[in-house]
Amino acid sequence: MTQFEVEIEELKKEMINMWVLVESQMEKARLAMIDFDKDLAREVVLKEKKRVNAYELKIDRDCENMFALYQPVAVDLRFLLAVLKINNNLERIGDIADGIARYIIELPEPFNKDILEQTQLLRMFDDAMIVLSETKIAFETEDTTLARSIFKKDEMLDEINLKANTVVADYIKGNPDNIMQALVVLSIIRKLERVGDQSTNIAEEIIFYVEAKVLKHHKKA
């Protein structure tokens, strides 16, 4: 194995570590929301986010060094280009977890169960976690079939998001004393929809580097 191949393998391991950390961020934000655990939410904001940022910077630097030293071509070039974009997508998902945790910290009381059930927020959170996990598996195994399945799963998140405005509006009409919670739930739904978008972007990058196919904006097409 050449030095370049060794560094490629190390870079892939770093990406998986970044993924695991971001998954941990999202899971802690989910549990903080369910259990109304402000301490756990603060952990996401104060500790984990710094680690995500540190990973992002290190991976970016490693990619830049490999471009400069080895001038990669073909699949190696596509891999490094994909890693740079996936790294950014994962950092944004870390930001989403951070944003959700901040809502929990600011809320004065736990979420009303009715609003959670009516908006399908808990189901959406679970689906977003599955999508994030499956993109990681697709990256690890270079499984483009699994990567393509992400597009359909993202549509399920989009569907909940599209219905959210009407559901939240109806809830507010019947519960005018709980407007703050309803608006926070709507904001979290918007953030989870973006987790799906970022995961779709990642799936596209996996297909790009494995198959040399560009699928950007496939939905519009």
Hey, what amino acid is at 208? F
Show Cβ contacts of residue 16 under 8 Å, excluding neighbours closer than 6 positions.
136, 139, 140
CB atoms within 10 A of CB 1: 7
CB atoms within 10 A of CB 150: 24
Mean pLDDT, to the nearest integer, of 163-171? Answer: 94
Pick the range with the lowest mean pLDDT from 7-11, 152-156, 214-218: 214-218
Cα distance between the two ends of the chain: 41
Mean pLDDT, to the nearest integer, of 3-18? Answer: 94
pLDDT attached to residue 44 = 95
Looking at the predicted structure, is the pLDDT value of residue 167 above 70? Answer: yes
pLDDT, tens digit, for every residue of 83-105?
Answer: 999 999 999 999 999 999 999 99
pLDDT confidence bin for 168, thresholds 50/70/90: very high
pLDDT attached to residue 216 = 64
pLDDT, tens digit, for every residue of 36-88?
Answer: 999 999 999 988 778 888 999 999 999 999 999 999 999 999 999 999 999 99
User: What are the angstrom distances between the C-alpha of 85 and each of 59, 90, 99?
Assistant: 11, 9, 21
Question: 186 or 215: which carries more pLDDT confidence?
Answer: 186
pLDDT attached to residue 213 = 77
Looking at the predicted structure, is the pLDDT value of residue 4 above 50? Answer: yes
Burial class (CB in 10 A: 0-12, 13-18, 19+), 10: exposed
pTM comes to 0.92
What is the rounded distance in angstroms from the CA atom of residue 170 to the CA atom of residue 212? 47
Please check whether residue 205 is in contact with residue 85, taking contact to mean a CB–CB distance below 8 angstroms: yes
pLDDT, tens digit, for every residue of 118-155?
Answer: 999 999 999 999 999 999 999 999 999 999 999 999 99
Q: Helix 121-141 to helix 3-35 angle, to the nearest 10 degrees?
A: 170
